[in-house]
Chains A and B, each alone.
Chain A
């Protein structure tokens, strides 16, 4: 897009101070730009990556490697006139045999060749000097060119196919004393690149296993010998010390002139001489050997340098464009979010006119202009998307090449190093160094020599939203303190907090209000530090360590899901509010979940709900006229219609990948201290977009988003992964319930299935947790309140989703000791019954499933029975249908065997579980649920599975 499209712009649009290309260019320049474009295309092909680098740079001076990379043998040829000068003239016998062939058409010999003058030579007998010439050819890798006539002859005689427009060469070799001619052609570019990558790999392997290994072994031997020598010397020194003590004692006893004392002293002197001598000898030997190592090291380094330098140069080259393109992309992403937000905002206002048609009528003559602007709006949006795709493609290519180069460099770095050297290097790497380039996360750096920063536009605040991010990004990567240090800091802060709290208590008792207030301030500060510390820990775990890619991915995924469900929950809560059903929404009010708090704040502060269920700012320009009952009904109808639903769903999707995601990521990825800065920026930014009143109102909404995001962030920071998952389940439940109430099943079959699986797992956890704590968990209430979700559009005869949801409910009920019907999935319990039910839950001691026998003994009879009953119900439910059983087993396997959800899903997609697996799962389940002894649980599992199978047969 970029180069070609810039041609369409006028010079005014482009400006002339910062660009090196101008839209109105001379044909020569255009040709050059086109060539450059082609060059980029050629050079940016990801697959070429290392191979191309190897071919073009690493082996550019290595003839042997180039021979292999660039050329290939295309076939053997018959010796002919050109080769005759290598041979002696034919002898009499050969001449006669050849003459016979000419005269009677029989006889002849393969060894007879005619030279350019028609004389016969014997290809078995090399000329004087021919051997030397062939050896020299081989040594220097000389190839002889093949002329057109020979190409034609070789092809026509069927020896080998040589294309007339391609260059070919030939080489000669002596095989068993016979000369052989081999034709050589050039490899295609792609193939050459592939071969170059292979050659590079082979070369690195050789260096690792041969030169590198030899060097490493020598180094290790020296280290070992040095230690040995030190030990021997130390031994001698100890002996000398002992002798000295002995001599001193003797001297005190017998006097210095005693012969035995003198003898002892002589011995001591001799020993000391020996030590000095040995020290010197060992030192000089080690030095000699170190010198040898140095030579070896230099030789190896030289070999590696040829490979390393182009790689390092490539990395450096990639940094600049990568940094520039990434900063542009960041800006584009922000712009995209802003634009979609703005469009959304204005579209809402169109509806205040009763729709676009009405608005156009009001416009009168401006109608055509309106249509034009709408078309322009779409065109702008499309162009922005295309630009973003372009950028992403470029960035992905560059990043792939960067990773490849980094990987190879890391490999090179290991060659010839002893384990001790490697760990030393690793330790040095882990020290925080600003701006270091490592195999870690892609650090986007700004280049100073060509700044591609967007200029401050007239209608844009000086400090753009993208602004603070860049500075903070580098800072983020500078803070690479280890997890241990962070944990230590956290503990020390907690200690301080504890002591402060104690002080506060004592001072409060003494009635020192001022001192208490002061201490409370200190506590607040420490809380701030604790938050920052936790944020760092999260970053360290999820963001800074790029080797934890999967974790990071998972985190993103969770955040993405939370965003979505948060929004749905919020929307539906708002809608419910409008329908005067606020109290029925199953959102937990005890725990400060972002959605709940956010929604409350949203309603309180703005109190108005627009047609799509979003709260809108309370400004005179923004509020649509008071809606009549008919209008409200129309809106409801619209929201229920296919188009309305579609639009709401699209909006949710937009929101998920739009501003909220951006804010979330900003909060997670950057220092939290930047919050104020970002808020200020947004403030200015918005004031430039909207009229004053609207800007204030919009800013309030943004601040709410920030607050909510901050809160969500804080909560997530403090939560373990499973807690995050639980929170997600809450969102799901809230969303699901509200969806159900509004009579719209918005979940796809996939999300419903995920929901169901999570419900099942959550129910399992609740059962275990409930046993430990003996009290109702909040989720339990939420789960119990949840009505079954609408059936998915699956063609399956049974309704697996509701089965699983019912199972989850059944688990809860079972846990409470309430019976369920075996034959049908239980009806969702009423909301009022849920709290009562949780109150009656019996208290049971913890029952680790690993020791079922012991726990059974400890468990009360009543509890045991009620729980066992629920286990039976569960098993009956499991047997309801094959899919239900399979999923329940999946849940059980997950819980009991620690298989990941993904792995399970893969397994489940491939096959149903074997009977043995089912038995293990069901028995394990029964054991953990009811505390049944293993043998009993297994027997029950066998029986239930048999029942199930028989039922299936019937």
Chain B
């Protein structure tokens, strides 16, 4: 009986360890998503701003001289 108790305790301890590891991994993933999204957004903001500038310049050149 004590042996069984001991086993149950050990099993529970292992389960707890898995839980903790999973929670940690989840936190990491959530953080990772945030980081990638933030990097993307920064890059995207820059690209969009660039695109706008370029389009403005191109529009001036093309439409100004076009016809």
A300 within 8 Å of B (CB atoms):
no
Contact of B28 among A5, A335, A350, A364 (CB under 8 A): A335
Stretch binding the partner chain, chosen from A32-40, A238-246, A879-887: A32-40
Query: Do the beta carbons of A61 and B57 come within 8 Å of each other?
Result: yes
A133 within 8 Å of B (CB atoms):
no
Query: Do the beta carbons of B67 and A142 come within 8 Å of each other?
Result: yes
Chain B residues numbered 12-67 whose CB sits less than 8 Å from any CB in chain A: 12, 14-15, 17-19, 21-22, 24-48, 50-51, 54, 57-58, 61-62, 65-67
A332 within 8 Å of B (CB atoms):
yes
Number of A-B contacts (CB under 8 A): 168
Query: Do the beta carbons of A19 and B14 come within 8 Å of each other?
Result: no
CB neighbours (8 Å) of A387 from chain B are 29, 32-33, 36
CB neighbours (8 Å) of B43 from chain A are 40, 320-321
Contact of B18 among A56, A63, A377, A452 (CB under 8 A): A377
- A362 CA to B33 CA, complexed, in Å: 37
Contact of A3 among B11, B12, B22, B40 (CB under 8 A): B40
Query: Do the beta carbons of B65 and A140 come within 8 Å of each other?
Result: yes
Q: Interface residue count for A (Cβ, 8 Å)? A: 74
Map CB proximity to B onto A316-360 as digits: 1 under 8 Å, 0 otherwise.
010011001100100010010001001100100110010000011
Query: Do the beta carbons of A366 and B33 come within 8 Å of each other?
Result: no
Query: Do the beta carbons of B25 and A20 come within 8 Å of each other?
Result: no
CB neighbours (8 Å) of A332 from chain B are 32
CB neighbours (8 Å) of A454 from chain B are 31, 35
Q: A39-B48, A60-B54 are in contact. Are A383 and B15 (CB under 8 A)?
A: no
Query: Do the beta carbons of B17 and A362 come within 8 Å of each other?
Result: no
- A373 CA to B12 CA, complexed, in Å: 12
Q: A60-B57, A328-B32 are in contact. Are A450 and B42 (CB under 8 A)?
A: yes
CB proximity of A146 to chain B, nearest CB, Å: 12
Chain A residues numbered 1-30 whose CB sits less than 8 Å from any CB in chain B: 1-3, 5-6, 9, 13-15, 18-21
Query: Do the beta carbons of B67 and A6 come within 8 Å of each other?
Result: no
Query: Do the beta carbons of B42 and A328 come within 8 Å of each other?
Result: no
Query: Do the beta carbons of A2 and B58 come within 8 Å of each other?
Result: no
A209 within 8 Å of B (CB atoms):
no
- A37 CA to B43 CA, complexed, in Å: 10
A850 within 8 Å of B (CB atoms):
no
Chain A residues numbered 368-409 whose CB sits less than 8 Å from any CB in chain B: 369-370, 373-374, 376-377, 380-381, 383-384, 387, 390-391, 394
Q: Identify the closest chain B residue to A61 (Cβ).
A: B61
- A335 CA to B44 CA, complexed, in Å: 27
Listed residue (B27, B41, B43) with the most chain A CB atoms within 10 angstroms of its CB: B43
CB proximity of A356 to chain B, nearest CB, Å: 10
A57 within 8 Å of B (CB atoms):
yes
Q: A142-B67, A328-B35, A359-B14 are in contact. Are A36 and B41 (CB under 8 A)?
A: yes
Q: Identify the closest chain B residue to A359 (Cβ).
A: B11
A236 within 8 Å of B (CB atoms):
no
- A40 CA to B67 CA, complexed, in Å: 33
Query: Do the beta carbons of B46 and A452 come within 8 Å of each other?
Result: no
Query: Do the beta carbons of A9 and B30 come within 8 Å of each other?
Result: yes
- A40 CA to B39 CA, complexed, in Å: 12
CB neighbours (8 Å) of B48 from chain A are 35-36, 39
Query: Do the beta carbons of A353 and B11 come within 8 Å of each other?
Result: yes
Query: Do the beta carbons of A353 and B67 come within 8 Å of each other?
Result: no
Chain A residues numbered 591-605 whose CB sits less than 8 Å from any CB in chain B: none
Q: Identify the closest chain B residue to A6 (Cβ).
A: B37
Q: A5-B33, A394-B39, A452-B38 are in contact. List 6 more A-B contacts (CB 8 A).
A: A9-B34, A142-B66, A317-B46, A335-B28, A384-B32, A390-B36
**Contacts from A to B (Cβ < 8 Å):** 1-3, 5-6, 9, 13-15, 18-21, 33, 35-37, 39-40, 43, 56-57, 60-61, 63, 66, 70, 140-145, 317, 320-321, 324-325, 328, 332, 335, 339, 342-343, 346, 349-350, 353, 359-360, 362-364, 366, 369-370, 373-374, 376-377, 380-381, 383-384, 387, 390-391, 394, 450, 452, 454-455, 457, 459
**Contacts from B to A (Cβ < 8 Å):** 4, 7-8, 10-12, 14-15, 17-19, 21-22, 24-48, 50-51, 54, 57-58, 61-62, 65-67
Instruction: Provide a sorted-by-A list of 18 A–B residue pairs whose CB atoms are within 8 angstroms.
Output: A13-B30, A18-B34, A20-B42, A56-B58, A142-B67, A317-B50, A320-B43, A363-B11, A366-B12, A369-B15, A373-B22, A376-B26, A377-B18, A380-B26, A384-B32, A387-B32, A452-B38, A459-B24
